Amino acid sequence: MASRRTQVSKTKPLTRTVASDSEDDLNFLASQQSNGSDDQALEMAIAKHYAVLREKKRKEGEKNFLKTAYKQLSQDVATPTDEVKCSVTAIEALYSDFLQQYAANEDLIHKLWTQIQKEQQKLVALTKKRLALNTEAGKKVEEGHITGLSRTKAACREYQEVINQIVPPDQ
């Protein structure tokens, strides 16, 4: 058996390339050739087992990578999400305060307008009352004026008659 191994290693030297793991598996199988069918079957079983283990290891690596990437993305997304939630909460608090202050100011403005309306109604009533009084006083003054003018006219006629009696009109 030792002579066979020596022959195999002389005919096909063991070479390693800087290629993928699957090529390393093929080079490993090629370097371990033997003439016996049992050895070959054993080598094939070992090679298949090794290939299955490598595939399983690759899938586990991918799974771990995806898991780690998912965790990192979750953290990266959670941080801005938390910041946005805090910002939204702060904005909602400011908006709530604004609405309360706005409602209080609107109530105050409404109260002031109501007071202005009441004062305006008082002024309108006073103005109407004063207008009625002024109109009545105007009528009294007018009547007094008319009476005074009538008396003045009557006095002027009487005066003219007295003058006419004293000085006869053109004779």
- Is 8:33 a contact under the CB 8 Å cutoff? yes
With vertex at residue 82, the alpha carbon angle to CA 80 and CA 87, rounded to the nearest 5 degrees, is: 90
Residue range 40-99, pLDDT digits in tens: 888 888 999 999 999 999 999 999 999 999 988 888 877 777 888 899 999 999 999 999
Show the tokens assigned to 69: 């990437």
Q: Which sequence spans correspond to the domains of the chain?
A: 2-76
Residue range 123-149, pLDDT digits in tens: 999 999 999 999 999 999 999 999 999
3-state DSSP call for residue 36?
A: coil
With vertex at residue 50, the alpha carbon angle to CA 8 and CA 6, rounded to the nearest 5 degrees, is: 10
Long-range contacts of 157-160 (CB under 8 A, 24+ apart): none
**pTM of this structure:** 0.41
